[in-house]
Amino acid sequence: MGTPVIGVLALQGDVREHLSALAAAGVQGAPVRRPEELDTVDGLVLPGGESTTMSKLATLFGMADPLRERIRSGLPVYGTCAGMIMLADKILDPRSGQETFGGVEMIVRRNAFGRQNESFEAAVDIPGIPGGPVEGVFIRAPWVESVGAGVQILAEHGGHIVAVRQGNVLATSFHPELTGDHRVHRYFADMVRDAG
């Protein structure tokens, strides 16, 4: 595979920041808004934002079922914050009508680290990402309550799971795209190359 094209689901959330981080990680990013655009990408980022809104917009734009199918068929996907929630098989405290795309055998708790004014930054050590801890920005962040047997726990913070991987699916409860440190995006780009 040459330079992979990694889409960013562009329905809601911090799309521009992910596109910048992907470019800095040496891959081509592309906004994805319609089902047919899913067929043009080698991987996909589900950005942070508001998971309930993202769920409703994905259904409205006809993206929910195609996304579930592509994830099931092995498309590499990386979800941050709300994106992590969307990749969970189960949400512990879903809003009314909220659905996920699935992809990771995990149960997540929304807004687990607190509200907006309790947002914080912390160093997160992720084995497999060289160069020491990455800076994680936690904004109304979820955490993972529990995982299935096939899920690799990549990082914890304060005794809670904040980064996981299952096959071609990566999820973090924090936002590396807001830090200027693009190592997590490079790690995902390598996952996409390996899958291709």
Type of residue found at 106: M
> Which residue of the set 17, 18, 157, 175 is catalytic?
175
175 is catalytic: yes
81 is catalytic: yes
> Which residue of the set 81, 157, 182, 185 is catalytic?
81
> Which residue of the set 17, 18, 157, 177 is catalytic?
177
Q: Which two tokens stand for residue 1?
A: 């595979």
The one-character DSSP state at 145 is E
Q: Which residues of 146-185 are buried (b: 16+ CB within 10 A; e: fewer)?
A: ebeeebeebbebeebbbbbbbbbbbbbbbbbbbbebbbbb
Residues listed for the chain: 196
Half-sphere exposure of 156 (CA within 13 A, CB side): 9
Q: Determine whether 121 is exposed, middle or buried from the number of CB atoms within 10 Å of its CB (0-12, 13-18, 19+).
A: middle
Secondary structure (DSSP) of 95-117: PTT------EEEEEETTTT--GG
Secondary structure (DSSP) of 16-59: HHHHHHHHHTTSEEEEE-SHHHHTT-SEEEE-SS-HHHHHHHHH
Q: Which residues carry out catalysis?
A: 81, 175, 177
